[in-house]
Amino acid sequence: MVSPLYKIALVSAAYPPYTFGGIDIQTYDLAHGLSNNGLDVTVFCGLSKKKEIIRENENLSIYRLPFFDFYPRVLWFQLMNQGLFRKEFKNFDLIHSQNTSGSIYSFFRNKTKTPWIVSFHDHQLRRLSLLLKINPLNLSLGDLTYYSMGYPLFEYLSNLEVKNADHYIICGYSGFKDFYNYNKIKQEKTTVIPNGVNPDKLENLAKLFEEKNPLIEPSNSFRLFTSGRLYTSKGIQYLIRAMPKVISVNPEVSLEIYGKGPLLPKLLTLINDLKLEKKVFCRGHVEYEELMYKLKTCDLTVYPSLNEVGASLSVMEAMAFGKAVVAFDYPFTREILDHSDTGYLVKPKNVDELSDAVCLLIGDKKLRERIGENARLKILKKHNWNDVIKKYIDVYDKVISEHKDNSK
């Protein structure tokens, strides 16, 4: 166990409650898990009009900082606060860049002389290659900016991270293969730690929303659920295209889509073109408590993502609630879902197979419940956050100890 005297700085542009994407939630759980295990943790994050320090518990502080809230947000966050980083990072035993999409810490780490770990949640070249395989008419301006215009800059910064960081943490084995093959990442400096979830926390959040909204009416329809940032890479367009066939077989089915992003106008147009306005609903951004309640009370989840570095946190949340998940069959989905056992996998981008799988699970309650229960048990056994946090602590201990040895 790492010494409680160690001070850890987690750097993440976004952090709940203002945002709760997969990386943001993972950073939140990591910060609280570390502090609960006796480490002194400070999270440096953005989305504040002025600098403020919030003490969440005895061992955890949140340092909220201002930055320009437009693309590329993660870069503005670092550039606008680099002076503070140069000053503050000297006071820590380890810096962990958790969500910076290419940290600029490479440029001044020699002055702080603090060991540095980088978590990779995305791969720049894989993200760009995805763009080239999609019909340009299906891409939003946000997609084009996010995938192509930002590629040279963030690929350059990612390579600097690979070159200069003391250690790397990658949240999936498929992501590790990308970095190993294309970025020549050093295997001995890399640890793969798949994402984890805290099932008790999720249950408590859903219960809290229900207690705050006692008059909420249960839905009479069979509810499909999906969530995520609305970019082409999340594959929501394929799910919408699958809905006419699903509804023709099961007229009582509805689909709720939670999240926001630049693809929303195209999704709304697609919904109108397919005359699905009364069956498919884009609910936008909701508070995390409500999102977990809607997930817990849905009947079936579908996550048709086209690109992840490792197992999706959203998929894990659904599994933790005992929900059957339908997803496209990629290496990153096979890291968490076993076909017809803990999930249901279909050929990527195949709308017919996707609709058939959804119809199968709608019509077979026993199969749906068996898959959901197997999924829940897998989360408890292999991806429970209480176990995942120990792997992070082991990496921290190793990197800090090696740094001290090399400094003698």
Domain boundaries, the chain: 7-196+385-407, 199-382
User: Which CATH number is 199-382's, of 3.30.750.24, 3.40.1110.10, 3.30.70.1050, 3.40.50.2000?
Assistant: 3.40.50.2000
pLDDT computed for residue 34 by the predictor: 95
Q: Is the pLDDT of residue 279 over 50?
A: yes
pLDDT computed for residue 100 by the predictor: 60
First-last CA distance in the chain: 23
Q: Is the pLDDT of residue 408 over 90?
A: no
Between 370 and 133, residue with greater pLDDT: 370
Beta strands in 286-354, from DSSP E residues, in sequence order: 300-303, 325-328, 344-346
Q: Is the pLDDT of residue 97 over 50?
A: yes
pLDDT computed for residue 377 by the predictor: 97
Mean pLDDT of all residues belonging to the chain: 90
Q: How far apart are the C-alpha atoms of 10 and 92, rounded to whole Å?
A: 10
- Tell me what the mean pLDDT of segment 140-156 comes to: 75
pLDDT digits (tens, 9 = 90+) for 160-212: 899 999 999 999 999 999 999 988 999 999 999 999 999 999 999 999 999 99
Coil, strand or helix: which one is 379? helix
What the block records as the tokens of 139 is 């891409």
- Give 173-217 as a DSSP string: HHHHHHHHHHS---GGGEEE----B-HHHHHHHHHHHHHH-TTPP
pLDDT digits (tens, 9 = 90+) for 202-239: 999 999 999 999 888 777 789 999 999 898 889 999 99
Whether omega for the bond prior to residue 17 falls within 30 degrees of 0, making it cis, is yes
Q: How far apart are the C-alpha atoms of 158 and 387, rounded to whole Å?
A: 29
Q: Is the pLDDT of residue 146 over 70?
A: no
Let me know if the fold of 7-196+385-407 is the same as that of 199-382: yes
What the block records as the tokens of 38 is 């006796």
Neighbours of 404 (CB within 10 A): 11
Between 52 and 275, residue with greater pLDDT: 275
DSSP-assigned beta bridge partners for residue 302: 326
Helix or strand (DSSP H, E) at 389: helix 385-407
pLDDT computed for residue 2 by the predictor: 45
Q: How far apart are the C-alpha atoms of 325 and 308, rounded to whole Å?
A: 16
pLDDT computed for residue 301 by the predictor: 98
* Residue 32 backbone dihedrals phi, psi, to 5 degrees: -70, -35
Q: Which of 75-84, 118-127, 267-276 is most confident?
A: 267-276
Would you place residue 99 in the very low, low, confident or very high pLDDT band (cuts 50, 70, 90)?
Answer: low
Would you place residue 277 in the very low, low, confident or very high pLDDT band (cuts 50, 70, 90)?
Answer: very high
Q: How far apart are the C-alpha atoms of 255 and 319, rounded to whole Å?
A: 18
Rounded-to-5 percentages of helix, strand, coil across the chain:
50, 20, 30
pLDDT computed for residue 404 by the predictor: 87
- What is the pTM assigned to this prediction? 0.92
- Tell me what the mean pLDDT of segment 314-340 comes to: 97
Q: How far apart are the C-alpha atoms of 317 and 295, rounded to whole Å?
A: 8
User: Which CA distances in Å does 266 have to 125, 138, 355?
Assistant: 25, 8, 21
**Fold of domain 7-196+385-407:** Rossmann fold (3.40.50)
**Residue 89 · residue 391 · CB < 8 Å:** no
